[in-house]
A = this chain, B = another copy of it.
């Protein structure tokens, strides 16, 4: 029925030119006369020809595919980032091949292998760790990697995060200024750099006021654990404020306190999150939180990655972007706070 695939040869035949001429017409910056271009385009349109990206990639060594490794999408921060990443890359003629690292939980290792099979031009990992060995593997294959919202010590890897230390420090200062006496902290997964940096920044911020948290627990970025930790902190440790390692967990904490324990936020306990996902601005939570500037983070990620693809000799970069504290109503606001 349908002529299965229309190739550049078909177009060439129809236009009465050589195959290489057709190729040149579809290769930006190649040497073609106007007349030739018109003739070929006409024939191509008529046949519905479009160049085969895969065949092209075989010879150029560029697939124009970016591999994205992501662990889970329940935290609204990641779909949001994914959407922005995809749009930004589409703009540049790249596309995202998705890879879930969560699923069967075979670990990131096999995932990277499969990604390499597709000859991706670059890799972005979001919210997922990457061992030195994996980094080495990608590096050996000459594929640039950018860690999004995660840090790593390996110097061969680029990374883009918000300034987690400073951000968490701001939160500490905000809570101190608000007159809180007994603050708790539910960390992100302490196996992640993000979680650790925020904890460190928070501790540093409290320390300058001569304070320290009365309770710390690892929430593992999960709702259930965060909620349980919050309950313990309120009941056993009598906290009057909790800094929760990300918004996703902060919502769970507010649910637990307000709906399960009948407490008021912020009257009984102040809650502060981290990320400023869209949901944080919805009235149901109206969460005070530190904004991760995901637009700029995505911009930096794409720029860094594409730059390294085009100039393989560029140094890997470690970028941390500052974000503002977004003051809403889930935490007591200090007098005269600007």
Please report A residues at the B interface, Cβ cutoff 8 Å. Answer: 2, 4-5, 48, 50-55, 57-58, 61, 63, 65, 68, 72-74, 76, 78-80, 82-83, 86-87, 90-91, 95-100, 102-104, 113-114, 116-119, 137, 139-142, 251-252, 254-255, 258-260, 278-279, 282-286
Contacts and interface: CB of A to CB of B under 8 A. Distances in A.
A155 to B, nearest CB: 16
Nearest to A2: B140
A100 B87 contact: yes
B255 A2 contact: no
A58 B73 CA distance: 33
Contact of A53 (B68, B96, B100, B119): B119
A50 to B, nearest CB: 5
Most buried by B among A61, A260, A282: A282
Contacts of A140: 2, 48
A141 B63 CA distance: 21
B82 A98 contact: yes
Given A86-B103, A259-B283, 20 more contacts: A2-B140, A50-B116, A52-B117, A53-B118, A53-B119, A54-B118, A55-B58, A58-B58, A65-B118, A73-B80, A74-B79, A74-B278, A79-B79, A86-B98, A87-B104, A91-B103, A91-B104, A95-B118, A251-B284, A284-B285
A117 B113 CA distance: 24
B98 A114 contact: no
B278 A255 contact: no
A79 B82 CA distance: 10
B63 A73 contact: no
